[in-house]
Amino acid sequence: MAVQQSVGPDPYFPANGDPRYRVHRYELALDYRPGPNRLSGTARINAIAGRAALAEFQLNLAGFKVGRVRVDGRAPHYTHRGGKLRIRPAKALRAGAAFTVEVQWSGNPKPVNSPWGGLGWEELTDGALVASQPVGAPSWYPCNDRPADKAAYQISVTTPSAYQVVAGGRLLTRTTKASTTTWVYEQSAPTSSYLVGLSIGKYQTVLLGDPGPGGVPQHGHIPAHLLPDFSRDFARQPAMMELFEELFGPYPFGEYAVVVTDEELDVPVEAQGLSLFGANHVDGVRGSERLVAHELAHQWFGNSVSIADWRHIWLNEGFAKYAEWLWSERSGGRTAQQLAASAHRSLSSLPQDLCLADPGRKLMFDDRLYQRGGLVLHAVRCAMGDDAFFRMLRGWAAQYRGGAVTTTTFIAHVARFTAEPLEDLFAEWLYEPALPPLPGAAAQDDRIPARPAYPPANS
């Protein structure tokens, strides 16, 4: 596993995260009551100081009441204002020292404000969910909220027994006492704070396909009345998993779950080992199947191979967009070349003021970034040929598994798989706002033929 950390504050969110230390493990014990929307929690955070001694450090935490803070068992001085929990240990932590922080907090969780509306903990009509990208994690737990600081997690949630708790990772135990049940999940793979997913609701659980020996367990958690439509809409997810393991390499986690809430969501949300969909993404005619592929692909690109800071978000969204096109191509739909041509036509009629390698906070979720990111990968594929391109993708997922990367990391990685330099291609597509010509256009739509290998859409 290769890890590339960013060494300073995130340029898009300088108030989030503290680069002076890194977290090794979070242990979160939560108690949530849906009726009053009341959350209380205890966090035990195992961390390591950076290259300099730490006289003080900070965690991000929204406006809860903080009841207790300890650093290595001793009471520090701390302040909690403006979403920052600033902690000054009784004795400065030496450079490279391992230390443990304990925090107790309670209150009524709510989304944190952002340019895209509320992010993080969202109270539903009957339950709750977490959708944190990019800076919503402090809405429900104290964290070093920067994507490059990846840690293992154990999450224990106690809630009334009528509700099911779903989190990313392996369910260790489920214990019922009187009217409450405690669910304990373990996510051992390095996880960015915004990718810690959680859903609390009333669901039925189904197994998606038979994983067989050595396969990936895939479960769906769905309101009962949506189960018939869900069974059709997600029927081809096991085939997607098979294809993506062929093209990208082994699935990077131990399991994969999808949750469908009983409310509408603007867009699905990826978390580590878990994706969250709204009831509006289930229609019985596979109307959102490209999104099923998109969220699954994020497990490789965005979750396992993460970005060092938010300037590089195209490495998440462009790869997931191209995975949509690959699924279409290999399942008998439109080819990647046809979909690239459609995206190119759309982009050519829109303002060309987006620099993909550094879009700025305002444009980091612009649909043009997704489409152009997919086109970059198609351009690289056309330049390299399929054999070298997919060897490069599998190498990318393997070498940087569990790590954090940048655009420069990707360019250097591609160079190891091609005899022809691609500096001009990357300069045009990543660093110039003007839209380059359509990649592969001269070869027409049969340049990369579809090879149906999975159940057709009408099956």
Q: Binding site residues, as ranges?
A: 294, 298, 317
Asked whether 271 and 216 are in contact (CB, 8 A), the reply is no
For residue 96, the 8-state DSSP code is T
Buried b / exposed e over 126-142, threshold 16 CB at 10 Å, is bbbbbbbbbbbbbbbbb
- CA-to-CA distance for 189 and 169, rounded, in angstroms? 9
| 122 noted as active-site residue | no
* Of 227, 233, 296, nearest in space to 262 by CA: 227
- Among the listed residues 289, 295, 324, 329, the single catalytic one is 295
Instruction: List the binding residues for Zn(2+).
Output: 294, 298, 317
Q: Which residues pair with 202 in a beta bridge?
A: none
Q: What is the C-alpha separation between 275 and 215, in angstroms, rounded? A: 19
* Amino acid letter, residue 109: P
Token readout for 263 is 């409310």
Among residues 137, 82, 145, 187, the alpha carbon closest in space to that of 309 is found at 145
Interatomic CA distance for residues 6 and 67, integer angstroms? 32
Q: Does residue 370 have an active-site annotation?
A: yes
Report the Cα 428 to chain-centroid distance in Å: 28
Give one DSSP letter per residue of 9-49, joined into a string.
--SS-TTS--TTEEEEEEEEEEEEETTTTEEEEEEEEEEEE
HEC string of 366-377? CHHHHHHHHHHH
* Single-letter amino acid, residue 288: S
- Three-class SS of 119-147: EEEEEECCEEEEECCCCCHHHCCCECCCC
Contact 388, 332 (CB under 8 A): no
Active site residues: 295, 370
